Structure 1
Amino acid sequence: MNPSDVDRLFAESIPQLYEQYMVPLIFEPYAADLASRIALRQPSRVLEIAAGTGVVTRHLADTLPPEVAIVATDLNQPMLDQAAARGSSRPVEWRQANAMQLPYPDEAFDVVVCQFGVMFFPDKLKAFSEARRVLQPGGLFIFNVWDRIDQNEFADTVTQALETLFPDDPPRFMARVPHGYHSTSVCAQDLARSGFTHLPGIATLAAHSRADSPRIPAVAYCQGTPLRNEIETRGPSLLLQATDIVTTAITSRFGSGVVDGKIQAHIITVER
């Protein structure tokens, strides 16, 4: 997946739906976790890559002292526009940037953070190498990745439900990309190959994904992520039908009222 493809995937109404539905559904607890881990380092200058609509950025702004500089970057300008429109509790620098070619000098930051973004990088070794390059000696690179899709119940349910609508060519975006880089041993190997010489720390964190109704995660996944593009590619008029089928599947598995599904991710930390 090249940068122009990523940019296209997060176009149109996806940034708004992503922020409205996906962020509270699955991203908030892990954003708070990353911010708390970074605060323990007492950094002076933090770079976020693949910041999306800014959920980690907002937690960093709330958690870190006001004198700590926060620079939040993303390849996709509409996502950054959504982040800037939402705002943060104090000023941060928003900048469009390619994680594989960061526009910053060597050793410019003491923390580089990325929440659920490395799975989208077409050249992970290059992105990791760039993170290392802009880190000061002793600086920290911290990122998280989703665990296997069967450990993330809503994503798994969505994927299985869409197989019934598209049996000959099921949309596998969730399994292929967000949940496709779940091997911690592969992460460690890629970090070593990109120049990191320290062994990474790895923590696995389970959390809960809650919504007031089954419709919310159905809309979130089908319409607020790049899965939408895969559905519409198979038939532009099928998005609503797909959302309805997923709603039914979530209702069948989790009930018709408040729904609660397990989510699980790995947090990777490595020093330069």
Structure 2
Amino acid sequence: TWRQADALKLPFDDAAFDLVCCQFGAMFFPDRAAAYREAKRVLKPGGHFLFSVWDRIEENIFADDVTNALARIFPHDPPRFLARTPHGYHDKDLIRSDLAAAGFSDVAIDTRAEQSRASSPRVPAVAYCQGTLLRNEIDAREAGSLASATDYAEAAIADRHGRGAVAAKIQAHFIVAVV
């Protein structure tokens, strides 16, 4: 059964699950320690908490390309949403520390690099500029500039990766913590 829930206040009984999964969400938690304690609370003894987070932005090339392009457009106040939030929770020592503080004893972190592929430079430019909260930061800097900022990001990706189908490194950490 699919149920949407607040990670900080899970609507489940204590020790109800063998596994709790969270795919690329932990970096958005307003209080990671509280969310991790909740995951631990609903896990049975020996249960596993499996989650993933993006590695630092420099290891995620399209996101970094877009961030750097927007910094050239807005040099006095560059939009840093991608670096700050989706790619801002990448420090493995911090992740281990946060999990230990929540009561997890055994933590394994596996870092994986893959290729992000798109049919054209337009696809990642639109995805990042218009499909994330980065769009709000672009609009806040100059109302009505979303389209031109997206075009600029597309050109930056094309200049670096070509004008046809593109591919670049994307990297994430996959974490397993045991109760």
- TM class, shorter-length: over 0.9
Structure 1 residue 270 corresponds to structure 2 residue 177: yes
Deviation at 1:261, TM superposition (A): 0.7
Contact 1:142–1:267 (8 Å) recurs in 2:
yes
Higher relative contact order (CA 8 A, sep 6+): 2
Partner Cα separation in structure 1 for residue 58 and residue 103 of structure 2: 32
Q: Which residue of 2 aligns with 1:221?
A: 128
Q: Which residue of 1 aligns with 2:80?
A: 172
Matches within 5 A, 1:110-259: 110-196=18-104, 198-259=105-166
Partner Cα separation in structure 2 for residue 93 and residue 159 of structure 1: 35
Deviations 1:36-84 (A, max 9, x none): xxxxxxxxxxxxxxxxxxxxxxxxxxxxxxxxxxxxxxxxxxxxxxxxx
Deviations 1:116-137 (A, max 9, x none): 1111111100000000000111
Deviation at 1:235, TM superposition (A): 2.2
Matches within 5 A, 1:72-83: none
TM-score of the aligned structures, taking structure 1 as reference length: 0.65
Amino acid of the residue matched to residue 69 of structure 2? A
Of the candidates 14, 27, 31, which is equivalent to residue 106 of structure 1? 14
Contact 1:145–1:267 (8 Å) recurs in 2:
yes
User: Could you say which structure has the higher helix fraction?
Assistant: 1
> Unmatched 5+ residue regions in structure 1?
1-91
Matches within 5 A, 1:5-154: 92-95=1-4, 97-154=5-62
> Unmatched 5+ residue regions in structure 2?
none
Partner Cα separation in structure 2 for residue 127 and residue 271 of structure 1: 15
SS for the counterpart of 2:145 is helix
SS for the counterpart of 1:237 is coil
Amino acid of the residue matched to residue 137 of structure 2? E
SS for the counterpart of 2:14 is coil
Partner Cα separation in structure 2 for residue 229 and residue 109 of structure 1: 37
Give 4+ residue runs of structure 1 displaced > 2 Å after superposition: none
Partner Cα separation in structure 2 for residue 212 and residue 98 of structure 1: 35
RMSD between superposed Cα atoms in Å: 0.9
Contact 1:188–1:199 (8 Å) recurs in 2:
no
User: Could you say which structure has the higher strand fraction?
Assistant: 2
TM-score of the aligned structures, taking structure 2 as reference length: 0.97
Partner Cα separation in structure 2 for residue 187 and residue 199 of structure 1: 12
Amino acid of the residue matched to residue 109 of structure 1? F
